[in-house]
Amino acid sequence: MARLTVGGSGRRALLIAFVSTVVFFGLIAFLVVNAPGWDQVRRQFFNWDNFFASAPGIVARFEVNVRLFLIAEVLILTLGLLVAVLRGLPGPVLFPLRLLATAYTDLFRAVPGLLVIYVLGFGVPGLRLPGVPNDPFFWGVVALTLVYSAYVSEVYRAGIDSVHPSQAAAARSLGLSQAQALRFVVLPQAVRRVIPPLLNDFIGLQKDTVLVSFIGVVEIFRQSQIRSSATFDFTPYLATALVFVLLTIPLARITDWLVAREKDRRYATSVRATGQRGRRGRFLGGGG
Amino acid sequence: MTTVSAPTLRIEALHKSFGDLEVLKGIDLAVAEHEVVCLIGASGSGKSTLLRCINLLEPIDDGRIFVAGEEITAHGVDVDRIRRHIGIVFQAFNLFPHMSVLDNVTLAPRRVLRTDRPAAEERATALLERFGLADKRLDYPDRLSGGQQQRVAIVRALAMEPRLLLLDEVTSALDPELIAEVLAVIRELAGEGMTMVIATHEMGFARDIANRVVFLDEGRVLEDGPPDRMFREPAEARTREFLQRIIEAGRL
Ligand SMILES: Nc1ncnc2c1ncn2[C@@H]1O[C@H](COP(=O)(O)OP(=O)(O)OP(=O)(O)O)[C@@H](O)[C@H]1O
Ligand SMILES: [Mg+2]
């Protein structure tokens, strides 16, 4: 289970955990502070004047990352689902579609995201085709969407596969078409099960929004770079890192909580189900 | 072509294999309207496969199946349309766990028959009430007992007003004390003249309810007849053997 627990029980355990934490981090701090180059590092990374001077500009630039993230996320959830469904289509007629969807996921999971961003952000506008935008933000969204949808479609697919075929059979036996069975019976169950891994991918995407700085989008990372080269110190990066940490930690906790809840729920249902399957002697009392 | 005298279900020389394993080796069977036929036979004799073929959930290899005179195994028939008229209830209930009881029952009428929600819910509620499930209509399936779940599954099939209902060992997943409530529902349906094909290991129930008992042996209909004769003086040695084993197991 992913919950953060002290381990053990009672006040004694709590005390031991506290002492060992203090000793552990104290030791690391001691080693860092007594390192030969500490003075220089402190000046370059922990310059509080620079920190407070650069922080407002950096936090303001974060708006670009948030916008990028939100737009891309909506597109990713849609495209990922579409690709997952395409890959699951039956029948020989639809083979080309399955092939295309498979090639897409293979390709975009293979190529490093940064390369995709470069190729789309510099290459496509470089063609100077009429009507094709050359806004780096636009191409940043497109590149991240293409890369992440490939991953997300695999997550969806695992979710779809985890729904027992008897569910689709029950839907079809009632006269629902293949598409209706997918839409009303299979997908709702599949999506519910993959919410935690999807959130996990969100965390990755959130961080990867900084990659679009490489094609000229002035977002939080680029902003800290600008500040950093103006003052010749790295403190702005510290501020940037802090922004991501503050955003990611709550999301990570929520994900853990959802995973734990899903696990509890599934465990509860499966115990119940086996209790009902056994012809004789149910070991769980009361079914209704 | 539909004629008045056409049986509700007619199967001709049905063959079905899974890979090298031939499960159904030429089944011939006719079920008249309002008739209740019980399929009995050892585990693996092909009862479930036969029911799944009738509902077109399994593609067949050879032979023909007619429902109300129409060949449903013909090329180009709309399987979704056929399935509307054939209900099936499975051993494992297969309720939709993400939907309330009411939504389970109204899904197909709403999406397939395009009944509007109030009308579909009204009908569903009436059906649920008849089978003692009215107070469960807003519950999710995992809150129900096995017997209640199976009754909901039956109601869900009935909501489509099928002209033929297939039941595949609908009580085998249930605890003994819950079997009776499900059998009572089936008995009531039989009393109303619902045409049914029932695969079952409940021989006592088969003897009570069936107009005809069909003994399936290794993918063939070995013999069939009225329950009285089938259970008292079966003609075939293998039927006698099978029933003997059932009696020894204390299930008749
Ligand atoms: N999808 C499948 N793929 C391969 N083999 C199958 C499949 N479904 C059934 N079989 C095989 O077909 C044979 C008949 O199975 P079936 O489920 O129809 O028997 P049954 O009479 O319903 O048995 P039971 O009383 O145990 O339910 C068995 O040998 C089974 O292993
Ligand atoms: Mg079976």
Higher pLDDT: A228 or A149? It is A149
Q: What is the pLDDT of residue B4?
A: 55
User: Does residue B175 belong to any structural domain of this protein?
Assistant: yes
In a domain, B2, yes or no: no
Tell me the chain B residues in contact with residue A270 when contact means C-beta distances shorter than 8 Å. none
Q: Look at residue A251 and tell me if it is in a domain.
A: no
**In a domain? residue B140:** yes
Of the listed ranges A156-160, A282-286, B229-233, the one predicted with least confidence: A282-286
Whether A23 maps to a domain, the answer reads no
Q: Is the pLDDT of residue B176 over 50?
A: yes
pLDDT exceeds 90 at position B27: yes
Q: Residue B241 falls within a domain, yes or no?
A: yes
Give the nearest partner residue to A282 out of B92, B172, B175, using CB atoms.
B175
Residue A42 has pLDDT above 90, yes or no: no
pLDDT score, position A25: 94
Q: Which residue of A has its CA nearest to B110?
A: A176
Which chain B residues touch A272 with a CB distance below 8 Å? 142
Q: What is the mean pLDDT of chain B?
A: 92
pLDDT band at A8 (very low <50, low <70, confident <90, very high): low
Give per-residue pLDDT as tens, B29-41.
Answer: 999 999 999 999 9
Distance CA B191, CA B208 (A): 12
DSSP-derived pairing of the beta strands B212-217 and B36-40 = parallel
Say what the pLDDT of residue B107 is: 97
The number of distinct structural domains making up chain B is 1
- A82 falls within a domain: yes
Per-residue pLDDT reduced to its tens digit, B198-215: 999 889 889 989 999 999
CATH (domain of B117)? 3.40.50.300
Supply the range of the domain harboring residue B98.
9-248
* Model pLDDT, residue A250: 87
Question: Can you give the CATH number for the domain in which A95 is found?
Answer: 1.10.3720.10
User: Does pLDDT of A275 surpass 50?
Assistant: no
Angle at B215 between CA B209 and CA B216, to 5 degrees: 130
The verdict on residue B4 lying in a domain is no
In a domain, A188, yes or no: yes
* Cβ–ligand 1 contact at B45 (below 6 Å): yes
Give the mean model confidence (pLDDT) for residues A273-280. 40
Give the bridge partners for B24, in sequence order: B16
Q: Which of A213, A221, A235 is nearest to A53 (CA)?
A: A235
Closest chain B CA to residue A277:
B173
ipTM reported for the complex, 2 dp: 0.91
Q: Which atom of ligand 1 is nearest to the CA of B41?
A: 21
Is the pLDDT assigned to residue A286 strictly greater than 50?
no
Task: Name the pTM for this structure.
Answer: 0.84
Strands (E), A177-284: none
Three-point CA angle B123, B125, B130, nearest 5°? 100
Task: Specify the pLDDT at position B251.
Answer: 64
Is B46 touching ligand 1 by the criterion CB < 6 Å? Answer: yes
Q: Is residue A244 assigned to a domain?
A: no
Residues of A in contact with B146 (CB under 8 A): 276, 287
Residue B48 in contact with ligand 1 by CB distance below 6 A: yes
Find the mean pLDDT for residues A85-98: 89
Q: Stretch A58-85: mean pLDDT, rounded?
A: 94
**Structure confidence at residue A100 as a pLDDT band (50, 70, 90):** very high
B239: Cβ–Cβ under 8 A, 6 or more apart, which residues?
A: B215, B217, B222, B223, B230
Residue A245 lies in a domain: no
More confident residue, A54 or B224: B224
Distance CA A157, CA A161 (A): 6
SS3 B18: strand
Answer yes or no: is pLDDT of A281 > 60.
Answer: no
Alpha-carbon distance B172 to nearest alpha carbon in chain A (angstroms): 7
Task: Give residue-wise pLDDT tens across range B90-137.
Answer: 999 999 999 999 999 999 999 999 999 999 999 999 999 999 999 999
Inside any domain, residue A173: yes
- Encode pLDDT of B48-81 as tens digits: 999 999 999 999 999 999 999 999 999 989 999 9
Phi, psi dihedral angles at B211 (to 5 degrees): -80, -30
Domain count for chain A: 1
Taking the CA of residue B42 as reference, the ligand 1 atom at the shortest distance is 25
Identify the pLDDT of residue B252.
62
Range of the domain at A68: 63-220
Identify the residue among B48, B78, B107, B163 best suited for mutation to test binding to A, counting A beta carbons within 10 A and taking the highest.
B107
Distance, CA of B102 to CA of A54 (rounded, Å): 58
Nearest atom, ligand 1, residue B172 CA: 27
Per the model's pLDDT, the better-predicted residue between B173 and A272 turns out to be B173
Please indicate whether, in this complex, the C-beta atoms of B87 and A180 are within 8 angstroms of each other: no
pLDDT of residue B63: 95
Residue B231 lies in a domain: yes
Instruction: Tokens for B9, please give them.
Output: 């279900």
Number of the ligand closest to the Cα of B41: 1
Question: What's residue A273's pLDDT?
Answer: 47
* pLDDT exceeds 80 at position B234: yes
A265/chain B closest Cα distance in angstroms: 11
